[in-house]
Amino acid sequence: MRAWFFILAASFTIGIFIRSLYEDAGKLQLLFLIAAISTFFVYPIHRTRSVFFVSLVFLGAMLGIVRFEISELAFENSFLRAHSGETVFIEGIVSDEPDVRDDIVFLTVRAESLRDGASRLAVNGEKIRVAAERFGNWRYGDRITARGLLLRPEKFEGANGKLFDYPGYLSAKGIYFEIKSGTVSLIGRGEGNQVLSALYSFKEKFLGNLARVIPEPEESLLAGIIVGAKESLGKDLLLDFRKVGLIHIVVLSGYNVTIVADSIVKFFSFLPALYGSILASSGIIFFAALVGGGATVIRASIMALLVVFARYLGRVYDVTTALVLAGFMMLVQNPKILVFDPSFQLSFLATVGLIYFSPFVEKYVRFLPERFGARDIARATLATQIFVTPFLLYLTGSVSLVSFPANLMSLAVVPSIMFLGFLGGALGFIHSALVIPFGYVATVFLSYILFVTEKFSALPFSSYTFQSVSIAVPILCYAIFSVLLFRRFVKIKE
């Protein structure tokens, strides 16, 4: 049964992939359906496993294309399409946390009405990306008005010379239009979802508790590590983290989420199985919502929830099944993340590398001591970096040459930082003085990571940028990786 699910999930993904790259692929729906039916019913009378396999492949590919076509209906039925290229006056609610940059802030606005002359037209909640002033103190749930030129996002050339599919990237977030310049005014507050408003308010106060004790930029780094808030670090420091391959720490990678999820599960382990499972699951969902629920967070959270369910049901947790199921569920919910969301792609590649490629690198890190988890960190870091680098190189055109030592020196203190940060922030709700001891110790560790980042990024060979990287590079690399993994799988079976 599991094998059939893997086949269906893989073919479903292939269907989405084909439709993501080729708009005319929608015409293949009927062809795949006919092929699936024909394979199953028209083949010889004896329906062998191979016949069912082929039929399932066609069926899955068709369903993938259909699911993508359904996701496109939001744009095809958009009320705003008729006003694209016009200067509009929009009123709506900020439906996500503001995306704060160095000199500007992007607001995701769920539009409610559009003023056309003297009349006001309903928009029915379509999302618009609105650029506003950096220091406007914008919040989730704000009611705003925005006046400016309504435009469809356009592709642009990135620093690596590659064309970035900006429209596709925004469409994966349900956004098809933007107002890049204009006038944005606040007319009300607190009109978003009450649960999310409470979560974001809690996060703001939680980080405020830590900010009373921990100085900058250490406090901003801590906010990035525990809740993924990276806007205050500044462009230069973020660039340094990218150069040394530590940016995954700041943007709340699956590693950070796994640490939190594992801690939540252990915290409730003393309770009876049912209550412990319910509270642990609630805690994981609460944390995912608190930090914004990006693709990496959702993937790691689903896999963590499956661990909880497996333990409660007394079943063996199979990491491959969990990974495939997590990806399948995410693609069913939002098929556009497969091609248009780099965080989804990198998260799954990193997880595959960690799970399946670690045995290949284990013998190269045996010289390291097991104390403080140095060998485990080195094995995980090396495996994920080797597996992710080809695709990352294609995306960005650059590769960090100091990533392994920088990660090896930094990741060992991340769990301690997260523990101190969460404990200090929580105790701050009782009394600000309780934050002091935890904040001071956390500051030492945070300063250490900043020191490592600064020294490695200052090296002239810290990273190398290629003029252009062909798609053939990751294809060739992953073909080689696939052969290695297949040979290892066959050897284990023997």
The distance from CA 476 to its chain's CA centroid, rounded to whole angstroms, is: 25
Cβ atoms of residues 105 and 138 within 8 Å: yes
pLDDT at 43 over 70: no
Of 227 and 149, the one with more pLDDT? 149
Cβ atoms of residues 463 and 400 within 8 Å: yes
- Residue ranges of E strands in 49-103: 87-94, 99-100
According to the model, what pLDDT value does residue 161 have?
67
Q: CA of 189: how far to CAs of 110, 186, 193, 360, in Å?
A: 14, 8, 12, 54
For 131-164, what is each residue's pLDDT tens digit? 988 777 888 999 999 999 999 998 887 666 677 8
**Calpha distance 52→37 (Å, rounded):** 10
Kindly report the length of the chain: 494
Tracing tokens 């409730």 back to the chain, one arrives at 268
Q: For residue 121, what are the contacts with CB-CB under 8 A and spacing of at least 6? A: 79, 113, 114, 115
Cβ atoms of residues 60 and 9 within 8 Å: yes
Query: Mean of the per-residue pLDDT values for the chain?
Result: 84
According to the model, what pLDDT value does residue 471 have?
83
pLDDT at 129 over 60: yes
Name the 3-class secondary structure at 372. helix
According to the model, what pLDDT value does residue 442 have?
92
For 169-224, what is each residue's pLDDT tens digit? 999 999 999 998 888 999 998 888 888 888 888 888 988 899 889 998 888 888 88
Q: CA of 116: how far to CAs of 14, 81, 179, in Å?
A: 43, 14, 16
Of 206 and 236, the one with more pLDDT? 206
Over residues 437-448, mean pLDDT:
93
**Calpha distance 340→282 (Å, rounded):** 30
pLDDT at 109 over 60: yes
Over residues 278-283, mean pLDDT:
87
State the pLDDT confidence band at 225, using cuts at 50, 70 and 90.
confident
Cβ atoms of residues 248 and 255 within 8 Å: yes
**Segment among 46-60, 383-397, 468-482 with least mean pLDDT:** 46-60
The two counts, helices (H) then strands (E), for the chain are 20, 11
CA-wise closest residue to 261 among 277, 275, 281: 281
pLDDT at 382 over 90: no
For 97-108, what is each residue's pLDDT tens digit? 888 877 788 999
**Segment among 50-59, 92-101, 164-173, 249-258 with least mean pLDDT:** 249-258
pLDDT at 467 over 80: no
What domains appear along the chain, each with residue ranges and CATH number? 2-76 (no CATH), 80-192 (2.40.50.140), 199-493 (no CATH)
> Which H or E element spans position 377?
helix 374-396
Select the highest-mean-pLDDT range: 75-84, 222-231, 332-341, 390-399: 332-341
3-state secondary structure 191-243: CCCHHHHHHHHHHHHHHHHHHCCCCCCHHHHHHHHHHCCCHHHCHHHHHHHHH
**Segment among 33-37, 94-98, 305-309 with least mean pLDDT:** 33-37
**Calpha distance 438→421 (Å, rounded):** 7
| Residue 397 φ/ψ, nearest 5 degrees | 80, 0
Over residues 364-370, mean pLDDT:
79
Q: For residue 21, what are the contacts with CB-CB under 8 A and spacing of at least 6? A: 339
- Could you check whether the bond before residue 153 is cis, i.e. omega within 30 degrees of 0? no
Tokens of 457: 């990024």
According to the model, what pLDDT value does residue 347 have?
87
- Residue ranges of E strands in 318-451: 398-400
For 315-354, what is each residue's pLDDT tens digit? 878 888 889 999 999 999 999 999 999 888 988 888 888 8
Over residues 465-490, mean pLDDT:
83
**Exposure of 296 in the CB half-sphere (CA atoms within 13 A):** 21
